[in-house]
Amino acid sequence: RQGDASACGGAMSGGLATTVLINGKPAATVDSVGTHGNRVIAGSGTVIIGNSHTPAPFVAPEPIVIPGVFNRIFAFHTSDGQPVTNLNYRMVSDSGLGKTGCTSATGDTGCFSTGKQGEMVSIYVSAE
């Protein structure tokens, strides 16, 4: 809006939309100028002031590759959703990695990691 500070601190002062008022002040649009000579180069993609709109082309995001640490925490719950606490367990991966423990107050095991590759894990439980 007219008089509002821009990113560099200069107030918006020229090239404003005089027919569109926001709280009584002319709206700043693309190519509006600030007192430091700065220009508005982009705006909201959902607010259009004027007769035309040229949206930016869609660029699909790149897939995120998280380098391999395969780890999980498992949770044990009853059929009605209550946590199974103090349950003794032993987890063993196909490659022979193992972990023994007891479920927490929330029914969770400790974190089990198979390192840099995913593999099947068997979980054995005992109430004793």
Domain locations in the chain as residue ranges: 1-45, 70-126
Summarised one tens digit per residue, pLDDT across range 45-93 is 777 776 566 777 888 878 765 566 778 889 999 999 999 999 999 999 8
Tell me the Ramachandran region of residue 94: left when phi exceeds 0, alpha when psi lies from -120 to 50, beta otherwise. Answer: alpha
- For residue range 10-26, list pLDDT tens digits in order: 888 988 888 888 899 98
pTM: 0.45
- Beta strand ranges found along the chain (DSSP E): 12-14, 17-22, 25-27, 33-34, 70-72, 88-93, 98-102, 112-115, 121-126
